[in-house]
Structure 1
Amino acid sequence: MRLLSLLLTVSLTLALAYYIYIPLPDAIQQPWKLMMLNAYLRTSQSFTKNLDLFCYFVRFKTVISIYAGAVPGVKVSDITFAGIPVRVYEPPAGGEGHLRRGLMYFHGGGWGSYDITNRMVSDELNTVVVSVEYRLYPDAHFPVPYLDCLAAAKHFLSPEVLAKYSIDPDRVAVAGDSAGGNLAAAVITQGNTKCSF
């Protein structure tokens, strides 16, 4: 048993020394500090990459489980509002004769999928959600994204569109995250609109 412990300790020490050691020029003072820093940075980088892979895996499993049946019945349509591409999420039919809530949603400017979130909001809150696909940087510079969102919002708030989707004009909200949150605040400020949910 002692021999096995000694052999394991020697093996781990040699493996650690092999991992830490890098050949350096003789002129470098305190080469072990540089080697330790290099080993630390390589370890941190490997840990970060593996953590990213783990997070992507968890996100993928979540998306698959939600698509597997957690949001049935939400009708999704890709259309345009005033020439701006939008995706409309309509909750399952129910409560005939009652007007529903409306939500204009501006996603963040980075990479990401908001489809699952919008489906869940539409279903759980009996809300018509409109996600605006405004043009993004670097292809479009300010104020193009803002103008896209403003045009889509004005179209959405027209009496014809509100009637088409059975939306109560007094229960319309505007929301967004990251860059979309900034756009939502700018659209609300421009319209001087009272929004309640």
Structure 2
Amino acid sequence: MQDARHLTASAPSSDPDYDQLIDAPTWAFITETARFYPADAVGLTMAQQRAVYDRMCRAFHAGYPEGVTARDGSASGVPLRVYETPGMVGTVVYMHGGGFVVGGLESHDDVCAEICAATGMRVVSVDYRLAPEHRHPAAFNDCLAAVQALHGDHGPLVLAGDSAGAALAASVSHALRGGDVRLLGQVLIYPGLGGDRNAGSYLTHANAPMLTRDDVLFYARIRYDGPEPQDDPTAAVLRDQNFAGLPPTVIFSAECDPLCDDGSDYATRIQNAGGQAMWVREPGLVHGYLRARHSVPRAAASFSRITTAIRDLRDGVPVTP
């Protein structure tokens, strides 16, 4: 969910001391990511931006772990990619990041394959429609329809996603509570959930490497056909009024990310409503760190915690703060 205009290898002096917060391997990852974006990226068409993003993701592609296979399909008309491994138990429905405007089955292909291998679960990646061609609630509708269709054959399910995909997973969880679709839990990775953009981490990390507050505002402007909704949990779950009845939730936020506090706020609201939720702040990590899981030890450790959380939700292990 990053905008090439703000990828940088050094932090302004008024920002937190990122040279201290962020270690050398993470800086190398930031610099390598920035290499794929041309200086005039702000002027690229949406198709060109998607091509750049896909090339960047492909450069970090780590292949499939041994024993994992993938096949493409669909559910309720929504394209999917299904990852399977021998002896698998349970299903993860994964929603990719990309600011609601970039990404797809290829951008998170190896991430999903590795989740499959690490958890021993089937993983289904959802290729939801993207803005601005398809404004909200198109992406939400696709994810909801896919989860409802998959539940019949593969449920109960664990929902997971990163960034924009994490926001969609949470919105689907809110929409399905109290119904026939049983969710074992949700794992949200550096999610943007609609928090106050004039407070907390949105200001502290407004100019963070990989994602800035301006990027967040940019994506919000092009996601909607008109003003951004202020009370619609299908768009942003922190704008809901009810946090009861949600499935067990584990949230992973990057410390150096304007979205960081959204994860904390969401976990607190679920806990206050009597639900199970845990928030993990990953020190020194930046938005998009899943792609760094093979080059940055901190990201590798976080990925291990993420896959353990998914597996624990499948097995009914209680979520505790």
Task: Quickly name the TM-score band, shorter chain normalised.
Answer: 0.5 to 0.7
- Normalised to the residue count of structure 1, the TM-score between the two structures is 0.58
Alignment of 1:1-197 (within 5 A): 52-53=34-35, 62-63=60-61, 66-67=62-63, 71-91=65-85, 93-94=86-87, 100-108=89-97, 109-112=100-103, 113-158=107-152, 161-162=153-154, 169-170=155-156, 172-192=157-177, 193-195=182-184, 196-197=313-314
CA spacing shift, 1:88–1:142, aligned 2, 3 Å: same
SS at match of 1:134: coil
Q: 8 Å contact 2:101–2:132 — kept in the other structure? A: no
Give a deviation string over 1:77-134, Cα, whole Å, max 9, x none: 110011100010011x23xxxx612100111135451111100110121110010000
TM superposition shift of 1:176: 1.2
**Between 101-110 and 51-60, the greater mean CA deviation after superposition:** 51-60
Aligned equivalents of 1:157 and 1:173: distance in 2? 10
Q: How many residues align?
A: 132
CA 49–189 in structure 1, closer or farther in 2 if over 3 Å, else same: closer
Measure, in 2, the Cα distance between the counterparts of 1:116 and 1:104: 15
Structure 2 letter corresponding to 1:178: S
Deviations 1:17-73 (A, max 9, x none): xxxxxxxxxxxxxxxxxxxxxxxxxxxxxxx9887228999976653xx32xx6122
Unaligned runs of 5+ in 1: 1-47, 163-168
Shift, 1:152, TM fit = 0.3
- Tell me the secondary structure at the aligned position of residue 100 of structure 1: coil
Partners of 1:134 and 1:59 in 2: CA distance: 18
AA in 2 matched with 1:126:
G
Q: 1:190 to 1:61 in 2, by over 3 A?
A: closer
TM-score by length of structure 2 reads: 0.37
Amino acid at match of 1:52: A
Q: Which runs of 5+ in 2 are unaligned?
A: 1-29, 38-52, 185-312, 315-321
CA deviation after TM superposition for structure 1 residue 141, in Å: 0.9
SS of match in other structure, 2:93: strand
Amino acid in the other structure paired with 1:188: S
Per-residue CA deviation, residues 148-175 of structure 1 (Å, 9 max, x unaligned), is 11100000101xx22xxxxxx45x2101
Larger proportion of helix: 1
Which of the pair has more CA radius of gyration? Answer: 1
Which aligned segments of 4 or more residues in structure 1 are displaced greater than 4 angstroms?
48-51, 54-62
Q: CA RMSD in A?
A: 3.0
Tell me: CA distance 1:190–1:50, structure 2 relative to 1, closer, same or farther (3 Å). closer
Identity %: 32
